[in-house]
Amino acid sequence: MTYLNNIKSILPSWLEKEISVNNYKNYQTLDFPFLDCNNDYLRLYIVYKEDGNLYFTDDGDSYSSLAERIIGAKNSISSFFDDKVIQIVNSLPMVKFNTTTKELYKNCKPTDDLGFIISMMIEAMISFSVACNFSVFPQETKKVTMKFKKAFEYDFLKKNNCNFDTNPKAMGVELGEHTFDYLVYSKQSNYIKLLNDRDSTTKKALLYDWKDVCNYKSLPPLIAISKGDDPQKIQDKKENERLSQIIRNNNILLFSIKSDRARIDRILSA
């Protein structure tokens, strides 16, 4: 098998320095000095086919990292790379380093402009990483007013004789401590998060925070309570409904004071 032994020389100057090249049975790896969402160096695979051609893949790391962290990210992934050069494909049968179902991919001939293709691949991987760490994370849920908190304490916690702590913290894997509104002690201790509203942005932030906590430690369900129900006239109504289903599947009980008073009382008085 003939490997690309002159990889560094075909790269643009901004990529040729400090990269690591390793040869394996039917593929090579290129490690670049840029970090992904998990603080690992970005790795690009060059896989050699029996017909003499080759393809580049990120083994799905870019797509899977983003999709795990951001609900709905898959709907906008095309903005992170030039789809005229690079494709998103299902996991390839020749090489499966990752169990993801999607990966960045480019099929090539040895005579193609491989330096340009490598540049485009690494730029796409960096774009995914930047998006994952910064730009498309949901915003933090807005803090509720003291009036809402005091009313909730009086109408629900004290009337049900709950033993509780205010502003408890729970450790997460990626973002350290997360602050909730209450920790209620009963047969099982539940964190409570009060919500100003139930739009998609609030739900994304709620889901991300709680998944981060549960990745650190298994806990009883989070009780999330809003003033009202889902907004009726919003552009992303289907997305909002889908988020509600995902929230239910991720150990979160979502209630509305407007519609679920009896259910909230039953849980808190248990």
Q: How far apart are CA 174 and CA 39, in angstroms?
A: 11
Q: How far apart are CA 56 and CA 191, in angstroms?
A: 46
pLDDT at 2: 60
Q: Mean pLDDT check: name the lowest of 85-94, 121-130, 201-210.
A: 85-94
Q: Of 66-80, 115-129, 247-261, which one has max mean pLDDT?
A: 247-261
CA dist list (Å): 176 to 133, 152, 193, 208 = 15, 27, 17, 13
Per-residue pLDDT tens for 113-158?
888 888 888 888 877 776 665 444 444 455 678 888 888 998 899 9
> What's the mean pLDDT when you consider all of the chain?
77
Of the pLDDT bands very low, low, confident and very high (cuts 50, 70, 90), residue 221 is: very high
208 and 200 Cβ atoms separated by less than 8 Å: no
Q: How far apart are CA 257 and CA 259, in angstroms?
A: 6
Q: What structural domains does the chain harbor? A: 7-134 (3.30.1460), 146-268 (3.40.1350.10)
Average pLDDT score over residue span 24-47: 82
Q: How far apart are CA 212 and CA 191, in angstroms?
A: 14
Is pLDDT of 97 > 50?
Answer: no
pLDDT at 199: 77
Which pTM does this prediction carry? Answer: 0.49
Percent of the chain at pLDDT exceeding 90: 13
